[in-house]
């Protein structure tokens, strides 16, 4: 057989082998391809892919980030287009199956730390745009994926088959009758692309979310995430978004602060890497949808400010446990009034996080401190120092209880045991006793 004939046959064979990839590549029209890549880049921002698939100090999208769950540690995977350790050999069908159905190219089931139950409701076109963007703009990185470290029985992946039967639905986002296009877009972003329920919806005994939309009272009603209390996003007046206007929601998602609150903890990361990049129309859509969700806890009466605690602090009366610690550590920023300085130091009076039934986030803030979101709209971020190094558990519990029961706040006290347990979980040492 002639050499040129052999070369021709080899070229044909290689072309056939490449067909599955080419068949699902970007559109042939250059303008359409540019638009699809831009759409994928934008969707990746909203879906916040970088937050989970990039380890501290690691290459973008190369995985390796440790995700702490109640069942153990799961490490995010390499989603760069590297053919050996990433998604380089994935066709669009492979990618779609992983993103929307939680199944890797080799058939391995993915743990729902990857929010595929939410992504299942994404459109095929949006998944295709993500795929094209990953292959076009993400640099391939050869980095092997790390094994999970889960306790029995959660380390048996076959259990994900019945789990998916119970919790995975790929039906489109439901469009409520009478709602406009802005509401529908917001519902799609919240329920699918931005997967807000993955953090803000409580989970059951099998770690499935207790609701996918407002048809469930549990949907977005608040949950625990890696030791933090993800706040209630329903219309409750005290612990939810009932007292926020639509403009307040937009401002918070875009800048990480508004007149009611300032971001901290994991939400600062979400705003810094994701929601600040939403366009104005999508921010309005998300706010429109969130403001339509009825209250989950039945809080219909608005917060009412009580000046009594402020008067006692201004008079130097520290007869309430925790008052002296508040005056020493908190009052310079949050004032005797508890009203803080809007958009810099958040108010503690009437703050939904302060009166959350679960004080976990407050305990974290006092022990370790926090930082606001780093956004393009602000010249700097603000750091709140932690005080675990200088206050004992009972002192911290007294301080938090004082904050949760002053200025009209009516939340339950915080116990010394709760602070001590979180200190142990964080590996923090108690202050040295003289």
- Going along the chain from its start, the domains and CATH numbers come out as 32-167 (no CATH), 181-292 (1.10.760), 307-426 (1.10.760.10)
Residue 333 annotated as lining a ligand binding site: yes
Residue 383 annotated as lining a ligand binding site: no
Sequence-distant (6+) residues with CB within 8 A of 244 are 252, 258, 260, 291
β-bridge mates for residue 369, sequence order: 385
Q: Is 333 exposed, middle or buried (0-12, 13-18, 19+ CB in 10 A)?
A: middle
d(CA 377, CA 350): 26
Question: Using N-to-C axis directions, what is the helix angle for 265-273 and 246-255, rounded to 10°?
Answer: 80
Residue 167 annotated as lining a ligand binding site: no
pLDDT tens, position by position, for the chain (434 residues)? 444 443 343 344 333 333 333 344 556 678 888 999 999 999 999 999 999 999 999 999 999 999 888 888 989 999 999 999 999 999 999 999 999 999 999 999 999 889 999 999 999 999 999 999 999 999 999 999 998 888 888 888 888 898 888 888 888 888 777 889 999 999 999 999 999 999 999 998 888 899 999 889 999 999 998 889 999 999 999 999 999 999 999 999 999 999 999 999 899 999 999 999 999 999 999 999 999 999 999 999 999 999 999 999 999 999 999 999 999 999 999 999 999 988 889 999 999 999 999 999 999 999 999 888 888 887 777 889 999 999 999 999 999 999 999 999 999 999 999 999 999 998 888 887 66
The residue among 160, 259, 241 whose CA lies nearest residue 200 is 241
What is 16-57 written as a DSSP string? HHHHHHHTTSS-SSHHHHHHHHHHHHHHHHHHTHHHHHB-TT
For residue 232 the two structure tokens come to 């209630």
Give the total residue count for the chain.
434
Residue 24 annotated as lining a ligand binding site: no
Residue 53 annotated as lining a ligand binding site: yes
Residue 101 annotated as lining a ligand binding site: no
Residue 52 annotated as lining a ligand binding site: yes
């Amino acid at each position: 057989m002639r050499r040129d004939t052999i070369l021709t046959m080899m070229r044909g064979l290689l072309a056939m082998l490449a067909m599955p990839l080419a068949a699902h590549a970007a559109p042939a029209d250059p303008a359409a391809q540019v638009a699809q890549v831009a759409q994928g880049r934008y969707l990746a921002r909203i879906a916040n892919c970088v937050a989970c698939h990039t380890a501290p100090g690691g290459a973008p999208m190369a995985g390796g980030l440790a995700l702490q769950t109640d069942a153990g540690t799961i490490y995010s995977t390499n989603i760069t287009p590297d053919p050996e350790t990433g998604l380089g050999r994935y066709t669009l069908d492979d990618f779609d199956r992983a993103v929307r159905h939680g199944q890797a190219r080799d058939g391995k089931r993915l743990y729902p730390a990857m929010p595929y139950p939410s992504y299942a409701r994404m459109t095929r076109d949006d998944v295709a745009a993500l795929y094209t963007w990953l292959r076009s703009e993400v640099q391939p990185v050869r980095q092997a994926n790390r094994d999970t470290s889960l306790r029995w029985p959660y380390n048996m992946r076959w259990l994900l088959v019945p789990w998916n039967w119970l919790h995975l639905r790929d039906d489109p986002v439901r469009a409520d009758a009478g709602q406009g296009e802005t509401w529908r877009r917001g519902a799609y972003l919240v329920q699918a692309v931005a997967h807000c329920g993955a953090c803000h919806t409580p989970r059951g005994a099998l770690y499935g979310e207790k609701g996918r939309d407002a048809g469930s009272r549990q949907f977005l009603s608040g949950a625990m995430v890696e030791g933090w209390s993800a706040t209630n996003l329903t219309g409750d007046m005290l612990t939810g978004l009932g007292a926020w206007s639509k403009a307040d929601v937009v401002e918070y998602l875009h800048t990480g602060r508004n007149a009611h609150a300032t971001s901290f903890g994991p939400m600062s990361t979400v705003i810094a890497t994701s929601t600040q990049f939403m366009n104005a129309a999508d921010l309005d859509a998300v706010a429109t949808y969130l403001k339509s969700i009825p209250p989950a806890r039945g809080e219909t009466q608005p917060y009412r400010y009580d000046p009594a605690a402020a008067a006692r602090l201004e008079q130097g009366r520290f007869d309430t446990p925790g008052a002296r610690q508040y005056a020493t550590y908190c009052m310079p920023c949050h004032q005797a009034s508890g009203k803080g300085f809007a958009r810099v130091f958040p108010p503690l009076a009437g703050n939904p996080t302060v009166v959350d039934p679960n004080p976990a986030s407050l305990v974290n803030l006092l022990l370790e401190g926090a930082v606001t979101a780093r956004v393009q709209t602000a010249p700097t971020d603000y750091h709140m120092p932690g005080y675990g190094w200088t206050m004992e558990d009972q002192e911290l519990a007294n301080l938090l209880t004082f904050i949760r029961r002053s200025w009209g706040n009516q939340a339950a006290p915080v116990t010394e045991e709760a602070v001590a347990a979180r200190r142990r979980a964080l590996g923090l040492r108690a202050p040295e006793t003289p």
